[in-house]
Every structure is written in C-alpha cells, then in structure tokens.
Amino acid sequence: MKYQVTHITRYEYQQRASLCHNLVYQVPVDHSFQEVKKINYQIHPEPRLLATREDFFGNKFIYFSIEEFHRKLSVEIKSNVEIAEPVWIKANPKDTMPWENVVIWLRSAEADNDIRQFYLESAHIRFIDEIRDYTLQSFTPGKPIMEAMLDLNSRIFNDFDFTPGFTDTSTRVEDVFMHKKGVCQDFAHFSLACLRSIGLAARYVSGYIETIPPPGKPKLFGADASHAWIALYIPEIGWTEFDATNNLLVNDRHVRTAFGRDFADVTPLKGIVYSGAGQRMIVNVDVRRVE
C-alpha cells in the first residue's frame, strides 16, 4: 500500500511571540515493512535554525527555532510511504510462547536491555492492582501470549467508549480505566499499563491510519488525525503491533512515525514559546492512498 501523509499544525498567538524552539515528531521512518519514499516540510515563518536529528530510541525528529516576532506559526510535513504486510499478520497466535514464559525470559540474561526497558513504569504508565486484575482475565495461566493479547485488545475495544474531548494529554491512566472513556492515546496508555503490570515489554507507537469514508461519499482533506497504538514484544516474532481503538492487529493501513515509553517521548509537536498570552492550535491530517 502506498500513502501520501500530510500533517499541518498551525498556532495562532494572542500576542506576538518573540522566540520559539520546537521538536517535531511527524516524520515517518524506514521499517522492516515501511519504506519512506519522500519527505518535504514547510515551516513559516522561516526558521533561524533547522536540523534533523535522532533520539535515544532511534526516532527521527526535526528541531527548529524562530527568532523573530510572529503571531502565527505553521508546520507542514508531507511524506510518501509504502507499507508492506507486517510479518505478524500470518502468525498463528496459538503457536506463540505462554505469556508467563515470556515474563521469565525478559528477566533473564538472554533478553536485551533495549527490550527490557519497556516493562518499566514511565511518565504516563503506572502499575495499579485493579488494572492488573483486568489484564489477568485475558492472560490466564499457560495462554499463548499473542492469543491473550488479541483477547485483551478486543475487551478494551468493547469495554471502552471512544469519546473525543473527555480526556487530554494529562489524564491519568487510572481515570481512563474508571470512566472507560478516551481516545486512541488513552487506549494505548491503558494497554501499556495492562501489559507492563504483569511483567511484559510493550511500547507506545505513534503514527497515522487510513480512514475509509462512507460509501458514495468523497474523502475530506484533514478528516484523519494522528493515531496511537502499542507494540508487544513476542520472542518468536519480535515487536508485534496491536490497535485497541479499532480492535485490529496492525496492518498495512498504519503508518508509523515514532515509538517510545509513552506519549511524552513522541509528542507530535512540542517546544517552548515566548509570548505574553495564550494560543490556539489547529491540526489537519490527511492520509491518502496513492495508486
């Protein structure tokens, strides 16, 4: 599958800003089944400094600074990517290792520290007894890890309501669990809390997913949004991705941009701005299939 992804972020300041420094995590990267064909970006006003860098996890990001007075900021990232079918699509969930054996393996000398770091708590992930109990309803004794994860994915999809505006980036995972409401970021964080609370390694993945318009209706530009899901480490397969928001084993409709311990590591656009008042942010995303 070939896609063109356009992500536009605009800021409007109530008073002129004199300086801003920003990090942009909206750049798709090459993966075993994702190839980046082209990336273009436009930033207005023109940055004084601009560089492409790589973080601790291997994600590519853009750093830029604007050192002049401005009332508006616009960042447009346009990329063309080609997605192949991931290897886990053809895996038999029943053939994977019992999940308790994976927990034991992760604590052995055989497991790499690059994997082990993802079974710890992080900024948005806390270990809570009630969440662990919820998880163990899917991860029953001796159950193959992939089969258990698919069951947990389905339960989150059915038990939680997708409710835009109910949460924000500061909402705690225990509040998401209490109210059973949120958006893709919340469901990803909850999935991570579930898995790490029983000793498994799982990481946060950010990116995009193609959305299909209703039959007979044209696709509207900007109708898509940034998306989030998780990757669970399964020794026989590697990092295997699950999307609880849509009850999916991630497929060739997902475009990856970055991964980390949670949202705090891969916020799409973050930084500091020197301005004497508030600001308004407008985001438009379009994921368009290319023939």
pLDDT at position 109: 85
Backbone angles phi, psi at 150, to 5 degrees: -65, -35
- The verdict on whether omega for the bond into residue 45 sits within 30 degrees of 0, i.e. cis, is yes
pLDDT at position 223: 61
For the segment(s) 2-83+267-289, the CATH number from 2.60.40.10, 2.60.40.2250, 3.40.228.10, 1.10.3720.10 is 2.60.40.2250
> Do 86 and 33 touch, CB atoms closer than 8 A?
yes
Q: Report, as ranges of residue numbers, the positions in the chain whose pLDDT lies below 70.
A: 220-223
**SS3 (DSSP) at 264:** helix
Look at the block and give the residue holding tokens 């999940």: 99
Domain ranges of the chain: 2-83+267-289, 87-264
Alpha helices in the chain (DSSP H): 99-106, 113-116, 129-136, 145-159, 173-179, 184-197
pLDDT at position 222: 56
Mean pLDDT (the chain) is 93
Q: What is the pTM of this model?
A: 0.93
CA dist., res. 63 & res. 43, Å (int): 11
Q: Which amino acid is at 60?
A: K
**SS3 (DSSP) at 289:** strand
- Domain 87-264, second-level architecture: Roll (3.10)
Helix, strand counts (H, E) of the chain: 6, 15
